[in-house]
Amino acid sequence: MPREQMPAPGSAPLLLRRRTVLAAALALAHPGWVFAQGVPVPDKGEFFFLSDREARILTAAVDRILPQDRWPSASQAGVVEFLDYQLATEWGQGDRLFQQGPHQAGTPQQGYQLPHTPAELYRAALADASWNAFVTASPGEQDNMLKALEKGEARLGDISGATFFTALRQNTIEGYFCDPIHNGNKGMAGWRMLGFPGANAYYLTEVDRFDLDYAREPSGVAHRPDEAMPPPAQRRGQ
Amino acid sequence: MAIRLPRTDVVIVGGGWTGLTAAYELAHAGRRCVVLERGQFRHTVPDLQSPAMHDELKYALRYALMMDTARNTLTFRNRPEEIALPMRRLGSFLPGEGLGGAGVHWNGQLWRPLPSDLRIRSHYTDKYGAAFIPEELSIQDWGVTYEELEPHFDFFEKICGTAGKAGNLRGQKQEGGNPFEGQRSDEYPNEPMKQPLATTLFGEAAAREGFNPFPMPSANVTKTYTNPYGAVLHPCTYCGYCERFGCGYYAKADPIICVYDRLKGHENFTLRTQSTVMRVNKAPDGKSATGVTYIGDDGREYEQPADMVLLCAYGLWNVHLLLLSGLGQPYDPATNEGVVGRNYAYQTMASTRVFFNGKHRFNPFMGAGALGMVADDFNGDNFDHASLDFVGGGYIAVTQTNGRPVETTPIPSNTPTWGAAFKNAAREHYNSTLTITMHGSSMTRRANYLDLDPTYTDDLGRPLLRLTFDFPDNDRRMSRHVTAQALRIGRAMGGSLVEQSERASDPYSIVPYQTTHNTGGAVIGTDPKTSAVNRFGQLWDQHNVFVFGACLFPQNIGYNPTGSVMGLAYWTLAAIKSQYLANPRPLMGGSP
């Protein structure tokens, strides 16, 4: 039986439409951006936290974690903008993170023990020179570099590769599947991919209908299409 | 230095389920109650309303409703030989903060303990011989029986408008309920929840395999309902934003809807939020408490004199406050003496995934926190332990709580966790995979305990609570045995792949979420050498201090704790009203 009532995600019209919509939406929000093969390349001054170099590294890295297939890649779905906003605002700045010292290495069971906020962790990890070759490397080479981080075989300055990769993977998933109000999941692409209807909240008459093909246009928490989170108090360079 | 406030009859630390309920009952008994809640004031409307509440990132992943670990946390280690380090962000468990406490973001899975759970050492000794109980375990009877608590379990189920089906009504077995449960004096107030495909398949497979499945008792209510306090609850919409979220539909019973709204105008009730209690103050002779000292919402220090002090914070923080206040003797694992901090336990969780590879559409986003089917055949002593080498057990269940996508990417264990294959697998398995949960008991042992950390402090300069914990071998053996039963049911469900996905880690890790069921540290009992409070929840040495919460559990049962917590709370409040108020004194002898 058909699993999706929506047009098959691989069909050309939808893909074209999504690209067009994404590109148009991104172009409106970021008039300085250039679009190459559907991947937005950030221009100078468009990010709240990330430098251009950091954004290029992250664009390449998150697109290996969630590459483009019939559905957008992570960066196409806004994950870099999501990360930028997250790092610029409360969570990235250490909200809810216990920061008192002494900081000392513990066991894996004791969890995160670095003195860095998430913003500091990303900044320090991305400053490592090993990323310079990453951006221009082939996808296979990029995967090998990320695997070395994941396994803890490579370090990024004083930061364990595994610590950074764990954060990057988690934040990429978050940015791909979160409510679009957080700048990720552009066009609700992540939700459409899974068939998740979003912030819809009323299934009283459907919950006990077995194998129901529930294909409803997803909706987010925003009341207006252009509703967005407030800008951070501080932007880069200020 | 502290600003001294006018005396009140009762000061209550914490504005969650136990604190607001204590205030309701004692305000209506004519006592002036002041509730001090460390977090913010918040209310169903507007703070918990949809669609703003249905934001997975903000609430489920950034913990907007939970305690602020930047200000206060605990330190953790697996073994006494290690250096405990701060839990720098939440993970394994999620205590709450703000009006309603963790009762706002709970699932609503509302259970009673088994009668044998409450007399565990006696029960195993009588049935299997004293030598059966593993030597490492410090398990003990509660000192209060199921029969004594039953009216209070029943009342709290009515406060919550609980949806369920009785299995043992006044001794008569009932079709469709839990055949292992203790006798109930009454049926659940509401009918069970509707069951979706995933939980139905589990129930059918469990029945075919000889188990006795039944719908999980749920505080996500199924019809418009007025509780005994006059609060009105509405039918659950199965929205899939329940646990980790507050309910804006008045459908998940919580302390704001069920208690606070019916108490807020009462002349004997005062609530002060953003008020952190620093310590309980002792009288010069040490025989009673004189009240509490707290930091108010203006940052100033206040002394609130009171005739009675009720500790109604989350269990961990009740223990913290006892230790900071010098109430009761701190536990020392080296000598095995002292009681405050003794017998910390947790919950031994494991899970099994069943993949159907597109054969079904489960629509996991149509969920509720307590929507599920359960087999209780391997909980407690519901199965013969004679040939086994452990104490305890757990329930086996399929719940359909949510399909929130960041948290819901079930993939087979041989699939990469990132890259093209991951993305493909996440898409393929999202809507056709279910998880069987094994929710197991947690026994106590000497090396698992709570005390004060020597190094780290909270934002008010007080030593952090220090948690030392690893799963006892007994519990790993239990978990393996019960998980084998879950796998058996899983294989009978017709999926294409059945895998154990999570188990009690070796050693316990504070990083991945397991469950917010921290128990013990101020346990109830009848012997002042092994319990911090007597069987009424009253401190042995300071008779006007009563302790509430899961910190009272001498070890943890195989069920979610809230039903037991509230059964004990009403039991304590009944003793206060009927025995204590007219004649304040120790309600039990035995003080050393």
- DSSP for B281-325? EEPTTSSSEEEEEEE-TTS-EEEEEEEEEEE-S-HHHHHHHHHHH
Residues facing B467 on adjacent strands:
B76, B450
Q: Which of A217, A221, A219, A218 minimizes the C-alpha distance to A229?
A: A221
The DSSP code for B96 is B
A98 in B contact zone (CB under 8 Å): yes
Q: How far is Cα A110 from Cα B469, in angstroms, rounded to an integer?
A: 11
Mutation to test the B interface, candidates A196, A216, A229, most B Cβ within 10 Å: A196
Angstrom distance (rounded) from CA B359 to CA B338: 57
pLDDT at A46: 78
**How distant is the Cα of A177 from the closest Cα of chain B, in angstroms?**
6
CA B98 from chain centre, in angstroms, equals: 17
CATH number belonging to domain B3-580:
3.50.50.60
Q: Report the range of poorest mean pLDDT among A98-107, A146-155, A222-231, B460-469.
A: A222-231
Nearest to B423 among A67, A96, A100 (CB): A67
CB within 8 A of B442, min separation 6: which ones? B345, B346, B347, B348, B392, B471, B475, B519, B555, B556
Strands B348-355 and B497-502: antiparallel
| Confidence tier at A233 by pLDDT (50, 70, 90) | confident
Residues 269-298 of B with CB under 8 A from A: none
Q: Please report the pLDDT score of residue A33 as a whole number.
A: 36
The answer to whether the CB atoms of B50 and A201 lie below 8 A apart is yes
DSSP code, position B578: I
Residue found by looking up tokens 């943890």 in the block: B556
Give me the total of CB pairs closer than 8 Å, taking one residue from chain A and one from chain B: 184
For chain A, the domains span 12-194
Using CB atoms, which residue from A96, A113, A202 is nearest to B69?
A: A96
Q: What is the CA radius of gyration of chain B?
A: 23
> Which candidate from A91, A194, A223 shows the least CB-CB separation from B430?
A194
Integer angstrom CA distances of residue B271 from A83, B12, B38, B219, B576: 40, 9, 11, 25, 21
Q: What is the DSSP string of A23-77?
A: HHHHHHH-TT-EEETTEEEPPTT--SS--HHHHHHHHHHHHHHS--SSS--TTTT
More confident residue, A1 or B257: B257
B357 shares contact with chain A (CB less than 8 Å): no
Q: Running DSSP on this structure, what letter comes out for residue B244? A: T
- Set of chain B residues whose Cβ sits within 8 Å of the Cβ of A3: 358, 361, 431
As a whole number of angstroms, the distance between CA A177 and CA A144 comes to: 25
Q: Are B352 and B440 in contact (CB under 8 A)?
A: no
With contact defined as beta carbons under 8 Å apart, do B242 and B226 qualify? no
pLDDT band at A40 (very low <50, low <70, confident <90, very high): very low
Are B319 and B340 within 8 A, CB to CB?
yes
Residue A217 reports pLDDT greater than 90 = yes
- CB-nearest to B91 from A90, A99, A111 is A111
How buried is B199 (Cβ within 10 angstroms: 0-12 exposed, 13-18 middle, 19+ buried)?
buried
Active site (catalytic) residues of B = 517
Q: Does residue A187 contact residue A201 with C-beta atoms inside 8 Å?
A: no
Question: What radius of gyration, in Å, describes the C-alpha atoms of chain A?
Answer: 19
Contact yes or no for B363 and A214 at CB 8 A:
yes
Asked whether residue A234 carries a pLDDT value surpassing 90, the answer given is: no
B264 touches chain A (CB under 8 A): no
- Cβ–Cβ of B366/A213 closer than 8 Å? no
CB contact under 8 A, A206 and B200: no
Among B56, B87, B88, whose Cβ lies nearest the Cβ of A179?
A: B56
8 A C-beta contact, residue B343 and residue B522: no
Q: Which helix (H) or strand (E) holds B499?
A: strand B497-502
Partner residue facing A204 (CB), from B235, B419, B427? B235
Tell me how many degrees the CA angle B487-B493-B499 measures, rounded to the nearest 5: 35
How far is Cα A91 from Cα B62, in angstroms, rounded to an integer?
7
**């502290």: which residue's tokens?**
B2
In the structure, what pLDDT confidence band is assigned to residue A224 with cuts at 50, 70 and 90?
A: confident
Query: What is the per-residue pLDDT across B489-500, written as a single tens digit (0 to 9) for each?
Result: 999 999 999 999
Q: Is the Cβ pair A98, B87 closer than 8 Å?
A: yes
Helix (H, G, I), strand (E, B) or coil at B536: coil
3-class secondary structure, B23: helix
A224 touches chain B (CB under 8 A): no
Q: Name the DSSP class of B81.
A: T
Q: Which of B565, B479, B551 is nearest to B514 (CA)?
A: B479
Q: Does A154 touch chain B (CB under 8 A)?
A: no
- pLDDT score for B501: 86
Under 8 Å between Cβ of B18 and B565: yes
User: B333-361: per-residue pLDDT in tens?
Assistant: 999 999 999 999 999 999 999 999 999 99
Q: Which residues of B117-145 are buried (b: 16+ CB within 10 A; e: fewer)?
A: bbbbbebbeeebeeeebbeebbbbbbbbe
Q: Tell me whether B505 touches chain A (CB under 8 Å).
A: yes
Q: For position B111, what pLDDT does the model report?
A: 98
Instruction: Tell me if B273 sits within 8 A of B40, measured CB to CB.
Output: yes
**pLDDT one-digit tens code per residue, B398-408:** 999 999 999 99
Query: For residue A2, how many other CB atoms are within 10 A of its CB?
Result: 7
Looking at CA atoms only, how far is residue B122 from chain A in angstroms? 35
Find the helix or strand (DSSP H, E) in which A88 lies. Answer: helix A79-88
Do residue A102 and residue B455 have CB atoms under 8 angstroms apart?
yes
Q: Give the B window 475-504 contacts with A, CB below 8 Å.
A: none
Interface test with B, best of A66, A79, A96 (most B CBs within 10 A): A96
Taken as a whole, chain B contains a residue count of 592
Give me the residues of A, 49-68, that contact B with CB < 8 A.
Answer: 64-67
Other CB atoms within 10 A of residue B170 CB: 9
Confidence at residue A199, expressed as pLDDT on a 0 to 100 scale: 95
What is the reported pLDDT for B144?
98
Range of lowest pLDDT (A53-57, A220-224, B405-409)? A220-224
Residue B504 pLDDT:
87
How confident is residue A237, by pLDDT bands cut at 50, 70 and 90?
low
**Chain B residues closer than 8 Å to A98 by CB:** 69-70, 73, 86-89
C-beta of residue B376 within 8 angstroms of C-beta of residue B180: yes
Domain ranges of chain B: 3-580
> What is the distance between the alpha carbons of residues B105 and B103, in angstroms, rounded to a whole number?
6
Per-residue pLDDT of chain B (592 residues; tens, 9 = 90+): 899 999 999 999 999 999 999 999 999 999 999 999 999 999 999 999 999 999 999 999 999 999 999 999 999 999 999 999 999 999 999 999 999 999 999 999 999 999 999 999 999 999 999 999 999 999 999 999 999 999 999 999 999 999 999 999 999 999 999 999 999 999 999 999 999 999 999 999 999 999 999 999 999 999 999 999 999 999 999 999 999 999 999 999 999 999 999 999 999 999 999 999 999 999 999 999 999 999 999 999 999 999 999 999 999 999 999 999 999 999 999 999 999 999 999 999 999 999 999 999 999 999 999 999 999 999 999 999 999 999 999 999 999 999 999 999 999 999 999 999 999 999 999 999 999 999 999 999 999 999 999 999 999 999 999 999 999 999 999 999 999 999 999 999 999 999 998 888 899 999 999 999 999 999 999 999 999 999 999 999 999 999 999 999 999 999 999 999 999 999 999 999 999 999 999 999 754 3
Q: Could you tell me if A95 lies within 8 Å of chain B, comparing CB atoms?
A: yes
